[in-house]
Chains A and B, each alone.
Chain A
Amino acid sequence: MVREGFIHEALKTKTIWLCSTCYLCAVRCPAKINIGEFMTALKRLALKNGYSNNQLYPKLMKTYAEYINKYGRISEPRLMIKFSLKTSPFKLLKMIPLSMKLLREGTLSFSLEKIQNMEEIRI
């Protein structure tokens, strides 16, 4: 589509936001085109040009980036909670059974250490 000039149509699709970048396409493509990377490029273009407003995935990426820009690291439990609060807080209820299990096993923690010098990851 992009090659034929339908760039706006391509950026409007839901497809690009369903790509989990598992690279199955990349290793199967007989012409050795890394379609996964191409999808990432389309996501970037869509985000930059405001094509992504009603999709959840861009919101998740932005939340993820906020953590990196603030701490240099992320915390999955915090990311999940913050993202859910921004989008659909009631979904957090569904996470309760798993959270209890993780708590019992001792793998749930909300602490997040900041890296020493944030300037080092800024251009």
Chain B
Amino acid sequence: MDTSGRALSYYPGCSCSKNGIGRHYSFSSLAVLRALGIRVSEIEDWNCCGSNLYRVVDEKGSYLLGARNLAKALGMNLPEILILCPACFLSMNRTLTEILANNKIKNEIIKKYSILGSPASSRIRIRHIIDFLVNDVGEEAIKNRVKRRLEGLKIAAYYGCQITRPYSYFDDPEFPTSLEKIISWIGGQPVESPLKTKCCGGMLMLTNEEEVLTVIEKIFNSYVGAGAECIVTACPLCHLNLEITRTRLSRRIVDKHLPIIYFTQLVGLSFGIGIDELGISKNVAEHLNEKMVLTATI
């Protein structure tokens, strides 16, 4: 499929907004898409998706949060919505599914957003960036764009939970392979872990810290044991939780220099995009270089 020149709307969500903790995920994703010739327009004045938290406090209100964003994307005539954050991806998918399947919710929603009751609403598609890169952009276009293959670098992908669950329309819910495909297309060597979709605990880091730290220690052990020289993530919250845990664990379990970056930062690196634009720190870049050179000389 030729995706060059294709236009999508983009829902950053709080974490991947310019003020969010996952801003580098967003910057690098947009840089990668730009390099691939894909046009992305941020949904104007978007609001928080509500995640899985708001709906416990106010269920009806949570659908309204999602609906407002969907209506805005439709209003921009860009019904294909690109999302990076798995929690946003899940809750926007849920809102869309409920509007389509549940008349009670639908009637409530279209009182406020009539556009979602129109036939145009059937054109809305929620796309995770992994899905879009693997299934629409595809192998050929990505390989063609690679300027510098990440030869020999052992890369482990950590998906976390909500990218493939419960809406697993583009990959296996427990053992997805999309990120490994991307890694091999850019010349890296994918490293497997049985815990790649194990939940990082998410927000429980704030409420049940001990339990969450134990789980993430297991995740680190599994990745480091498999020989990972770099861990790539696709979720701002997973990313943060891995970083928090790393500051608490001993260096024997996980090296403080082990690069933990968003997969789009790594793709950008292979595309020859500058580290400043991708939000990769000098330390991490040097460490990655070292690993690649080292592997090349062996």
Q: Could you list which residues of chain A lie within 8 angstroms of chain B, going by C-beta atoms?
A: 17-18, 20-24, 26-28, 34, 36, 40, 43-44, 47, 55-57, 60-62, 64-65, 67-68, 72-77, 80, 83-84, 91, 94-95, 97-98, 101-102, 104-109, 111-113, 115-116, 120-123
Write out the residue numbers on chain B whose beta carbons fall within 8 Å of the beta carbon of A43: 56
Interface residues of B in 182-225 (CB under 8 A from A): 197, 199, 201-204, 206-209, 211
Interface residue range, chain B? 35 or more
Q: Choose, from B2-10, B33-41, B134-142, B240-248, the stretch at the interface.
A: B240-248
Q: Which of B47, B208, B244 is in CB contact (< 8 Å) with A98? A: B244
Q: How far is the CA of A120 from the CA of B111 in the complex (A)?
A: 11
A46 to chain B, nearest CB (A): 9
Q: Given A40-B55, A60-B53, is A75 in contact with B19 using a C-beta cutoff of 8 Å?
A: yes
Indicate if B291 sits at the interface (CB-CB under 8 A): no
Asked if B21 and A72 sit within 8 Å, CB to CB, the answer is no
Indicate if B132 sits at the interface (CB-CB under 8 A): no
Q: Given A27-B166, A47-B56, is A98 in contact with B243 using a C-beta cutoff of 8 Å?
A: yes
Asked if B165 and A24 sit within 8 Å, CB to CB, the answer is yes
Write out the residue numbers on chain A whose beta carbons fall within 8 Å of the beta carbon of B248: 94
Interface residues of B in 247-275 (CB under 8 A from A): 247-248
Q: How far is the CA of A62 from the CA of B179 in the complex (A)?
A: 35
Q: Given A23-B162, A97-B247, is A107 in contact with B207 using a C-beta cutoff of 8 Å?
A: no
B243 and chain A: residue at smallest CB distance? A98
Write out the residue numbers on chain B whose beta carbons fall within 8 Å of the beta carbon of A101: 243, 247
Asked if B15 and A65 sit within 8 Å, CB to CB, the answer is no
Asked if A68 and B50 sit within 8 Å, CB to CB, the answer is yes
Indicate if B24 sits at the interface (CB-CB under 8 A): yes
Q: Which of A20, A28, A76 is in CB contact (< 8 Å) with B204? A: A20
A65 and chain B: residue at smallest CB distance? B57
B189 to chain A, nearest CB (A): 26
Q: Which of A62, A67, A97, A105 is in CB contact (< 8 Å) with B281? A: A105
Q: Given A76-B20, A102-B21, is A22 in contact with B56 using a C-beta cutoff of 8 Å?
A: no
Write out the residue numbers on chain B whose beta carbons fall within 8 Å of the beta carbon of A108: 21
Indicate if B54 sits at the interface (CB-CB under 8 A): yes
Q: Given A57-B207, A60-B206, A123-B61, is A76 in contact with B240 using a C-beta cutoff of 8 Å?
A: yes
B35 to chain A, nearest CB (A): 22
Per-residue 0/1 for B43-66: is the Cβ within 8 Å of any A Cβ (1 yes, 0 no)? 001111011111111111100110
Asked if B202 and A61 sit within 8 Å, CB to CB, the answer is no
Q: How far is the CA of A36 from the CA of B161 in the complex (A)?
A: 12
Q: How far is the CA of A68 from the CA of B223 in the complex (A)?
A: 36
A22 to chain B, nearest CB (A): 3
A56, A76, A102: most-surrounded residue (chain B CB, <10 A): A76
Q: How far is the CA of A91 from the CA of B210 in the complex (A)?
A: 13
B64 and chain A: residue at smallest CB distance? A121
A107 to chain B, nearest CB (A): 6
Asked if B201 and A104 sit within 8 Å, CB to CB, the answer is no
Write out the residue numbers on chain B whose beta carbons fall within 8 Å of the beta carbon of A26: 165-166
Known contacts A60-B207, A73-B48, A91-B209; 19 further A-B pairs (Cβ under 8 A): A18-B204, A18-B211, A20-B203, A21-B162, A24-B174, A24-B197, A44-B57, A44-B59, A55-B207, A56-B207, A60-B206, A64-B53, A65-B53, A65-B57, A105-B281, A107-B21, A113-B19, A120-B112, A123-B60
Q: How far is the CA of A17 from the CA of B47 in the complex (A)?
A: 26
Write out the residue numbers on chain B whose beta carbons fall within 8 Å of the beta carbon of A27: 165-166, 168, 173-174
Please provide the 4 A-B residue pairs with the shortest distance between their CB atoms, ordered closest to farther: A22-B199, A22-B161, A23-B165, A56-B207
Q: How far is the CA of A62 from the CA of B14 in the complex (A)?
A: 17
B170 to chain A, nearest CB (A): 14
